[in-house]
Structure 1
Amino acid sequence: MRDIQRARTIGSMKQASMHVASLTLDETNPRHANKTASLEESIAALLDKGPEKLLKLARDICQHGVNPSELTIVLVDGEDNVVLEGNRRVAALKLLHNPALAPTDKLRKQFTAIAKSGEFPRRLTCVVAESRVQAEHWIRLKHTGENGGVGVVKWSAGEASRFSGRSTPTEKARLFIDAVNEWFPDDPDLLSNTQTVRDARITNLGRMIADPAVRNRLGISFDGDVVLRSYPTIKLQPILARLFHDLAGPISVDQIKNKRQREDYLEKVEGELPKLADRLEEPEKYSKSVGAEGSEGTSEADDGSDAPPKPGRRKRADFEKRLFQGVTLRHVSLRTSDVVEEAKRIKIDEMPNVAAVMVRAVVDIVVTEVADQLGWRRNQDTLKGRIGAVLQQVDPDKKDPHLSNAWRFSQEVDGALILRSLHSFVHSWNNNPMSSEVRKLSTAYGIVLIKADELLEKKKR
C-alpha cells in the first residue's frame, strides 16, 4: 500500500495515517453527474455544486481542524489511494495546500487567503477499505438518512437547542425558578409563589424572561444551563418577590403578551427594580451542577454586607470574553468575513482599547459593504445613517426584541450619545473605554451584523 503509516486493524478494515498529497479524489463520486477525468475536474465538479460551501469548509478546517468524528475512507487501487468517503474535505485540504488547483483566479485567491489565516494538516487518519463493496454499507448509512435507526439519527429541534445551550423560554423559566429558590431559601412567600408559577404559569414566566428588556432591567442572563445575575440578592429580592407574586396571581398572559405590555409592567414596578449603581463588578452564577453551598453559586457579600466573597468567584462566561463572540458572517465578502473573524480573537477585558476601536470599525465595514452590494444610496453619509438603513430593512416595525438595543443605541433619543462614544473610541485620545461599555455595544451590534449578512443571502437567492 502506498504511503500508509501506523496501520492498525479496526473491525474489518485498517486505520492508517496518509499524506494528503497521496490521496486521489473519486472520479465516480455520486456527487458528480458524469465521471471526471482528473483531479482538477473532480475539484471543479465539487465547486460547481456551490463554491461558497467548499470555501467555508476550508475556513472551518483552518480554524478547528478536520472533524475527528468522521474518518476518510480510502480504497488502495494500484498506485492510487482513492477517496471513497470524504471527497469534500480532501478537496478542501488539497486546495489549501495548492490553491492553483482551483479553476478560476478568484477562487485561487480566496483559497490562498484562507490558507494564510490558520493551520491545516498534511496527513489524515483514514480507514482503508479492501474494496468498494466493503465500504458501501458505511457510505450508504452516512448519506441516506436514519435507515430505521441504523444510520445517523438527526436531533430534534429541542435536542439541538439543549446541546447548543439555546434552551426554550419554558426551560429557561424552570432554570430561573431553581436559581431564585437557591437565592432566597428563607422567603416562604416567594417560594410558594415560585411553586405556583412552576405548576401553572411557567409559560408566562418564560414569556417575560425571553424579553431582553426584562432581563436587562432584572440584571439576569443565561449562558447555557447557567443563570447569571448582575445584582446582589438583597437588591433583587423586592422585584423578584413582586414579579412572582404577580405571575402567580393577578397577571394573565393577555397583560404581558407583547413587548409594549411588558414595558408597561416594568414602568409600573420601577420603584422595586434594582438600581444601576448597585450592579456587581462581575455577574454571579447559578447552575444546577453547583451545590447549595458552592462558592460559584453565591457569595457571602450577596447580602449587602462588607464580608469578603468566598474563594472561587466565577470568571466571566465565555460569551462575554471576546468581541462579537458567536457572530459568523457567511455572505459578505471574504475580506470582510476575515476582518470579523480576526476581531473575534480580541479579548475585551485584556484589550479594551483595541476592542473599542474594532467595534466601531467592524460595524462600519459591514454595513458599508451591505449598502454597496445592495445598491443603497440614501442615508449613507453617516454611520448613524448606514446603521439605520440596515435596521429599517431588517426590522422596519421595531418589533424584533434582539434589535431593541441597536435601535436605542444608534437611532433613538439616547442614540446620539452612544454614537459619539463609538466615534470617540477612534478619534478621541482622552476617552478610556470601559470593558462593560464595549461588551454592551458588541452584543447589541453583533445582531445587526448577522441580520445585515442575511440581507445579502436574500439577494443571492
Structure 2
Amino acid sequence: MAAKPTKTVRVGNLLLDPKNTRIPTAQQTDDQRALLHELVAHDKVWELAKSIASIGLFPTERMVVMPHGRKYIVLEGNRRLAAIKLLFTPELAQTSSDVRKYKRLARQMDLTPLTSIDVVVVENRLAAARIIAALHTKPARHSWKPGQKAQFYRDMVETGLTPQEVSEEIGVTEGEVRRSLRSEILYRIAQTFDDLPAAIQTGLNSRQFAFTTLERFLERTAGQEFLGIKPDNTHGIRGFVHPDRFRAVLTKIVTDIITLPGLTRQINTERDMREYAKKAEGDIPATETKGSFTPGSFLGDAEPKPEPATPPKSKRKRRRSTSVIPNDFECTVHEPKVSALFGELKNINVRTQRNSSGVMLRVLLDVALWCFYKSTKQDAAVIAHYDKNRHYRKRNSNWTPSLRQLLSFGIENHIFPGMTADEYKSLKTLLARDANWSATIDVLNEYTHNPQVQPTTQEVHAVWERAQPLLKIILK
C-alpha cells in the first residue's frame, strides 16, 4: 500500500470527529465542546495529557485526518487532540477543578512543539479505514471503576473543593461523594501497611482489587464496628479503638478480599457481616483495644480543623457567590443602565441559569464599556476610528461600534488607567478567533445568536475572569 501524504497542521485547524466510534450514537454531535467533554469523561484524556506533558507525542503515532473546508477532521487520534486542546486552553474543561488541573500541567511544559503537528491526510473515511484498523490495537475504554471514581473525587477535593461542591460540579449526590471518599481513605491507609506479604501488597495495588467489597465494610454497621470506626464529616472516618487494633482488622479484611474468591457474596447483609466478623476474630492478633485515631495517624496528612457547631457570626465562612460576579466585587458607577444590568446579573444563579448569565454578561460588557468611553470623553474618537467616512452614521445617527471594536480600541491605545501589561494580555485573549479558545467575544456572540450553543458554568466564569481587570476599571 502506498504511503499516505503527511502535512504539518496548526492545532487550531484540527477538529474532533463528530462520528467518533468511541462516542455512543446518542452523544454524537457537531458541538466541539460537547465532544471534548464526552472524551474527557470516558476516555482517560487526563492521563494522556500527563504523558504528553512528560514525553511529548510519539512521532510514529500521527493523527489521521481528512479535509473539512479549510480545516481537518481527526479520524484517528481524538484523545490526543482533546488532551492537546486542554493543555492549550484549560478553560475548555467541564469543571472548575479540571480547569485548574490542566492549567497546572500546562505551566510545567513548553507548548510550542504542539502548536503545529504532523498528520496523515486521507481523502475520506473509507481511505482511513485500513490505517485505523492497523493502529487501533488497544481495547475500548470502559467507565471508571469505583476505586478510580473515588480517586477522582479525592483529586477534586485536593484542589480545595468541599464534598458538596464536588457533588454540584459533577452532578452526583453529596452522600455518594462522601461514601467514596471514606472508602478511598480506608484503601489508602491499607496501602501504607509495609509489613503485608508481597502477594497481598501486589493484590492491593492491582487494578483488579475488589474496591466495592471494601466499601461494604463501610456501608454496614457491623463492618464499621468490626473496624472500630465511624463516619466523620471532617476527617472522613474516625476511629474509636486503638490504632493497632484497627490495623490488625483492616489487614485481615484486605487479605481476605484478595485471597477469598466470592467474599463479596458472603457479606451482603448485616447478619452476614456479623457472622464474617465473628469468624475472622479468631485470626486477629491480640493488641491494645482502647484508644482513638484519625486517618492522619496513618497517612501523615495535616489534620483538618473541624468547624464549630455554632460559629460566631464574625468567623462564619463566607458563602460562595451563586452569580458569576464574586461577592466582594462592587459596581459604583452612576450610570443607571449599567447599575441595573450589574444588579440583575448578580441576582442570576450561574449554575442553573447559564444562558441568561452568559448573555447578560455580554450585554454588561458592551454597555459598560461604551458608557466608560462617554464618561472619559473618548466616544467621538472611537466612532471616528471605526467610521471614518461616516458610512454607518449616515444610516443611523446613534450608531456605536461593536463590542469587539470597543475592546480593540482600548487595548491598542492602552487607555484603561492602572491596567498592567499582564492584564492587557489577559484582556486581549477575549479577541482571539482561534476555535481553541472558549472565553472570547466570538463565543459570547454565539451565546446570543446561535441556538445550538449553550455555555457551561465554567465558560461563563472564564469570560468573567479574563474580563475582570477591565470590569474593575469601567464599573468603578
Per the TM superposition, whether the score is higher than 0.5 is no
Q: TM-score scaled by structure 2?
A: 0.33
Q: TM-score scaled by structure 1?
A: 0.34
